[in-house]
Chain A
Amino acid sequence: MANITFENVTKRYGEVTAVSNLNLEVLDKEFLVLLGPSGCGKTTTMRMIAGLETITEGTLRIGGVEVNNVLPKYRNVAMVFQNYALYPHMTVAENIGYPLRVRKVPKEERRKIIEQAARTVELGELLERYPRQLSGGQRQRVALARAIIRRPTVFLMDEPLSNLDAKLRIQMRAELKHLQRELATTTVYVTHDQIEAMTLADRVAVMDQGVIKQLGPPKTIYGDPDNIFVAGFIGSPGMNLTRGELRDGTFAGEGFTVPGVGGGNRRAAVLGVRPEDLRIVGTGEGHLRAPLYSVELTGESTLLTVRTQDVFVIIRTDKDFAGNVDDEIEVAVNLDKAYLFDAETGERIRG
């Protein structure tokens, strides 16, 4: 069993609190993604698991054992760093074999395991090369091979794909996911890229300012956000969020009203609707009528922006949409997919 448990864990650097009273359980064999903007504490959280950061308060357990004061070398976790951290003066084989060399595995046996790991990540031909002679993708594979070689109880990955070009990133993403299933090892993965998070994760923990804002499967994070931060952070383009007033379940924004959203009476509320949950309707049938501000074809769909007073609303519509800037269109909200938030706390208003 290799579950990781954070109990009221806090990490402070002097006056700055990087992680604040964190409670989180990473289940055995789970792929958990820590997602958030830079400086949200996700990397600090991961480094605490690796033992590279001390814990100010609280308890961290790996496989049920408290590891607060255990040195990295005794934790049996493997980590892939953002810049791969390959040892430049060692060949690929020596790099991959380093964890074994440190553990004094005999040379012959080491050689065999190295070759096997290199085959797993398809590096077989390159064992005698040096890291500087490899491409970004190959370096990434070396880092992965070095991580899997000793069958760690936990994998940690700190934005491992962010140094790759877009095409390679998609390929490596699929390989990573496949590898994780194959090895069935608890994995914690840090990223600020929501698409990586959505595609890879069993569960996503969205973090902001040292706090987990929501923890759940990607589908829940996307389709049932708990607060404005998660709603706004996930999705590209982001969710449309507008401030307004709630009166008997009718949302009144600047220059438009949406009846039937629920939530009772509130002076200040925020309505959130994803671009794909807005549709263009005939005159008199919609909630908002405004001129087109821009039309962008992305390939698989068209993104429309309309402007009403100071509010910009983005609508995802069919790729065959025909219309020009300044044309008036009418937009209806898909009421099942309209989210209400408290304007002050940012929390979701449910029901």
Chain B
Amino acid sequence: MTDTTPATPLDPLAPLGKIKEFNPTRQRIKKWLVFAVIGFALFYTLFPVYWLFLNSFKTRLDMFATPAIWLLDAPTLYNYVQTFVERPFLRFMFNSLVVAVGTTILALVFGTMAGFALARFDYPGRAKYHVSFWILSTRMMPPIVTIIPLFLFFAFVNLLNTKTALVIAYTGFNLPFVIWMMKGYFQELPRELEESAMVDGDTRLGAFIRVLIPLARPGLAATAIFTLILSWNEFLFALIITETQTSNTLPIGIAGRITQYKTEWGEISAAGFASCIPIIIFAFIVQKHLVRGLSFGAVKG
């Protein structure tokens, strides 16, 4: 037995450590330091976008000028005309939009229902087999390992070079994420809500649609934007599965401007900048929900 009583009894009013006095200069320095860090982070993320934006309006000559041109006095739309009129980038954009929106809708519909089932239903082997873990585990390998089987599969069902193939592949890759997000969301909602709805005369599906889905809206918004961004930007699968204009997506189109002899920086910049815009617009629309969606536990009955 060791003696655990302190040598001197603790004074409850004794200060915790040395008293620090409030120092205005110190506070000011702290504040400016915070600003500096925020400023750097902003520069780090925004400068490439600004450079992209700038380059998209430059002539090839201006682009490689030294010293670099930071502000344009003679912007040109040449790059935009080249990409969107001369080349089929509008078509690529349309393809990307169809694929991204299709994927998002499909992944959300199936993922929400699966997430709900995993959160609530007492399916056989629930405790034993960690179904949700195995669902997530499909994301633990690099996607490229599935590309050959997928390619063969799409070749077999005659879906190569179609948007449908892309939607199917992307939905598969996004589903685990959607399922986990939505499962977490539904677990946060009190069970009594849907029970009450069912006793009130609704079916389980009705309770799900009328009561749970509206409450899970922030989660849906957050999940939707992630899925949308992921499928909008995906390159690898699109490169392998698509071949021609009918299904080529924007990232493929952009990469195509790096040719054997020349890299069309102007067109790449114009297409790249244009491809940011739809995502930014969508993010603005759902951002109200997004903040709540990312901070779980915001919904309480």
User: Hey, which bits of chain A sit against chain B, CB under 8 A?
Assistant: 50-52, 71-73, 75, 77-79, 81-83, 85-89, 98-99, 102-103, 146, 150, 156
A-chain residues with CB within 8 Å of residue B299 when the two chains form the complex: 88
The one of B193, B198, B199, B206 that contacts A87, using a Cβ cutoff of 8 Å: B193
Interface range for B: 20 to 34
CA distance A89 to B289 in the complex (A): 14
B197 interface residue, CB < 8 Å from A?
A: yes
Contact B203 A73 (CB under 8 A): yes
Q: Shortest distance in angstroms between B80's beta carbon and chain A's nearest beta carbon?
A: 44
With A72-B198, A79-B196, A98-B197 in contact, do A85 and B203 touch (Cβ < 8 Å)? no
The one of A77, A82, A83, A103 that contacts B199, using a Cβ cutoff of 8 Å: A77
CA distance A87 to B202 in the complex (A): 13
B192 interface residue, CB < 8 Å from A?
A: yes
Main secondary structure on chain A at its contact with chain B? loop
Q: Shortest distance in angstroms between A147's beta carbon and chain B's nearest beta carbon?
A: 9
The one of B190, B198, B201, B206 that contacts A52, using a Cβ cutoff of 8 Å: B198
User: Hey, which bits of chain B sit against chain A, CB under 8 A?
Assistant: 190, 192-193, 195-203, 206, 210-211, 214-215, 299-301
Contact B201 A73 (CB under 8 A): yes
CA distance A171 to B41 in the complex (A): 59
Contact A99 B201 (CB under 8 A): yes
CA distance A82 to B196 in the complex (A): 11
Contact A85 B195 (CB under 8 A): yes
Contact A89 B199 (CB under 8 A): no
Q: Shortest distance in angstroms between A144's beta carbon and chain B's nearest beta carbon?
A: 13
A-chain residues with CB within 8 Å of residue B201 when the two chains form the complex: 72-73, 99, 102-103, 150
B-chain residues with CB within 8 Å of residue A85 when the two chains form the complex: 190, 192-193, 195-196, 301
Q: Shortest distance in angstroms between B193's beta carbon and chain A's nearest beta carbon?
A: 5
Contact A52 B203 (CB under 8 A): no
A-chain residues with CB within 8 Å of residue B200 when the two chains form the complex: 73, 78, 98-99, 102, 146
B-chain residues with CB within 8 Å of residue A52 when the two chains form the complex: 195, 198-199
In the A-B complex, the 7 residue pairs with the closest CB atoms: A85-B192, A85-B196, A99-B200, A102-B201, A72-B198, A79-B199, A81-B192
Residue ID in chain B nearest A146 by CB atoms: B200
Contact A78 B199 (CB under 8 A): yes
CA distance A75 to B199 in the complex (A): 8
Residue ID in chain A nearest B214 by CB atoms: A89
CB pairs A–B below 8 angstroms (15 shown) = A51-B198, A71-B198, A72-B199, A73-B200, A81-B196, A83-B301, A85-B190, A85-B195, A85-B301, A88-B215, A88-B299, A98-B200, A98-B202, A98-B210, A103-B201
